[in-house]
């Protein structure tokens, strides 16, 4: 019997639109070519309208695609209006003063996959810059992980800026195991109850996790990633245990410095 396996995709350095150009390391497309490829794909698929494409993907009035992006893909909502988008887009939205007055319609967010690439300087942990002064680093106390790979260790609070400063090599440590775990998605991660965790794993593949997604990954039990027989789940969980050591050390250092900061403030 011939078995078919889903093709595993990894950035190869070649632009994925097929132009023959060379993309930057870790990128799928040359800048701007993703938008061209998306438009070309729509044309090849028969020019389906947006409602038709949403319905084909299982979304519509009773199943919000925007809410799914918030829950599964790291999007965040504006606290002052109905806008939602990536952390970088939301930061730009608030900086530009685009929050509408009551009764006005919020600007439409970009289509998933067509939004501008997030910059490393985006607001930490998905937070946005508003008119109010940002809290100082370390203003939120670390919390002790109740379970998961970081069980018993201190973790920076979900909104702590330290999550934005997790070194690239630490994020890369998770990228490969995370990609293998969700390519294709199997087992417990396919259940509706695991949608948020699945979104966090996919964010690890993109190496752009919010603080809340870091917390979700580091406090999820081994069984939530897959059965005891799942080698892929075991590899990711082992990588998370190593990452937990790094982030816990940062939290310990921050917690130790807190009394000195409080004394100086007093």
* pLDDT tens, position by position, 132-182: 344 444 456 788 899 999 999 888 888 888 888 888 888 888 999 999 999
pLDDT at 149: 92
Q: Among candidates 193, 224, 190, 196, which has minimal Cα distance to 209?
A: 196
Cα separations in angstroms, 244 against 133, 173, 218, 239: 30, 12, 7, 9
Provide the residue count of the chain: 266
φ, ψ for residue 84 (rounded to 5)? -145, 145
State pTM to two decimals. 0.49
Contacts (Cβ under 8 Å, ≥6 apart) of 154: 142, 143, 144, 145, 248, 251, 252, 255
pLDDT at 104: 45
d(CA 33, CA 15): 8
Q: Which residues of the chain are modeled with pLDDT < 70? A: 1-7, 47, 96-140, 250-266
pLDDT at 231: 92
pLDDT at 7: 64
pLDDT at 233: 92
Contacts (Cβ under 8 Å, ≥6 apart) of 145: 151, 152, 153, 154, 155, 215, 218, 219, 244
Angle 25-5-200 from CA coordinates, rounded to 5°: 50
pLDDT at 74: 80
User: 123, exposed or middle or buried, with CB in 10 Å at 0-12, 13-18, 19+?
Assistant: buried
d(CA 32, CA 23): 11
Q: Among candidates 231, 248, 230, 240, which has minimal Cα distance to 142?
A: 248
Collapsing DSSP to helix, strand or coil, 232 comes out as helix
The span from the first CA to the last CA of the chain, in angstroms, equals 74
Is the distance from CB of 142 to CB of 197 less than 8 angstroms?
no
């Amino acid at each position: 019997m011939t078995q078919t396996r889903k093709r595993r995709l990894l950035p190869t350095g070649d632009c994925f639109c097929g132009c023959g150009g060379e993309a930057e390391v870790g990128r799928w497309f040359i800048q701007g070519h993703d938008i061209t490829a998306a438009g070309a794909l729509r044309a090849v698929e028969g020019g389906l309208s947006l409602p038709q494409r949403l319905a084909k993907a299982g979304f519509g009035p009773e199943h919000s695609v925007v809410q799914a992006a918030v829950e599964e893909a790291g999007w965040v909502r504006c606290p002052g209006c109905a806008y939602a988008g990536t952390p970088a887009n939301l930061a730009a939205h608030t900086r530009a003063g685009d929050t509408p007055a009551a009764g006005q319609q919020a600007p439409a967010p970009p289509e998933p996959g067509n939004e501008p690439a997030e910059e490393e300087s985006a607001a930490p942990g998905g937070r946005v810059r508003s008119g109010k002064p940002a809290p100082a680093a370390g203003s939120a106390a670390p919390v002790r992980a109740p379970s998961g790979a970081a069980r018993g260790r201190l973790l920076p609070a979900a909104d702590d800026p330290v999550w934005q400063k997790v070194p690239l090599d630490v994020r890369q440590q998770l990228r490969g195991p995370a990609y293998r775990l969700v390519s294709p998605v199997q087992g417990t991660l396919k259940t509706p109850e695991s949608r948020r965790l699945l979104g966090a794993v996919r964010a690890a593949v993109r190496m752009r996790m919010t603080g809340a997604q870091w917390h979700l990954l580091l406090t999820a039990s081994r069984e939530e990633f897959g059965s005891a027989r799942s080698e892929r789940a075991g590899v990711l969980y082992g990588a998370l245990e190593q990452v937990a050591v790094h982030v816990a050390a940062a939290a310990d250092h921050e917690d130790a410095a807190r009394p000195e900061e409080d004394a100086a403030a007093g």
